[in-house]
Structure 1
Amino acid sequence: MSALNWQKSSFSANANGCVHIAAADDGSIKLHESDDPDVIVTTTPEKLRAFILGVKAGEFDHFAADPGTGTDT
């Protein structure tokens, strides 16, 4: 397996507070957090696509609410 080319969102404020994503040679998608890079989640492009569509539709906005105000960040 070749080395993974990890990418992060341009919306990430710093290197220690973001999720990285990479495509593996076997067609799977790998995700990990910058502060715990040894824990890697594996998914498929189809499942990631469904998740991204849910994010774009606002289905998960309540997870990103500011705990101090209860509003979206």
Structure 2
Amino acid sequence: MHEINWEEPYCGEGNNCFRLGTDAEGNAFIAVRGAEDHYLTDTREALRQLILGIKAGKADHLL
């Protein structure tokens, strides 16, 4: 299992919250707050672009 350092949750409108994390090897992770043991992983840059798009309102239906 990876040792993941989770950031503070980012919450949209309502109760939709997710967290980003990284490990010592530079891998990036995303999970719904409270379910961090069920995460997705990709490169840090791919997840960064996804989150920036969501925060910009381009995919707010995903929250």
Category of TM-score, reference length = shorter chain: 0.5 to 0.7
Which secondary structure state, in structure 1, belongs to the residue aligned with residue 4 of structure 2?
coil
Report the counterpart of residue 40 of structure 2 in structure 1: 41
| Higher alpha-carbon Rg | 1
5 Å matches for 1:9-48?
9=10, 11=11, 18-48=17-47
Which secondary structure state, in structure 2, belongs to the residue aligned with residue 30 of structure 1?
strand
**CA 59–25 in structure 1, closer or farther in 2 if over 3 Å, else same:** same
Task: List 4+ stretches of structure 1 deviating above 4 A.
Answer: none
What runs of 5+ residues in structure 2 fail to find an aligned partner? none
Deviation at residue 60 of structure 1 after TM alignment: 0.8
Question: Identity of counterpart residues, as a percentage?
Answer: 31
Higher relative contact order (CA 8 A, sep 6+): 2
Aligned length: 61
Which secondary structure state, in structure 1, belongs to the residue aligned with residue 47 of structure 2?
helix
Q: Any conservation in 2 of the 1:17–1:35 contact (CA below 8 Å)?
A: no
Which secondary structure state, in structure 2, belongs to the residue aligned with residue 59 of structure 1?
coil
Cα RMSD between the aligned structures?
3.2
Report the counterpart of residue 58 of structure 2 in structure 1: 59
Structure 1 length-normalised TM: 0.55
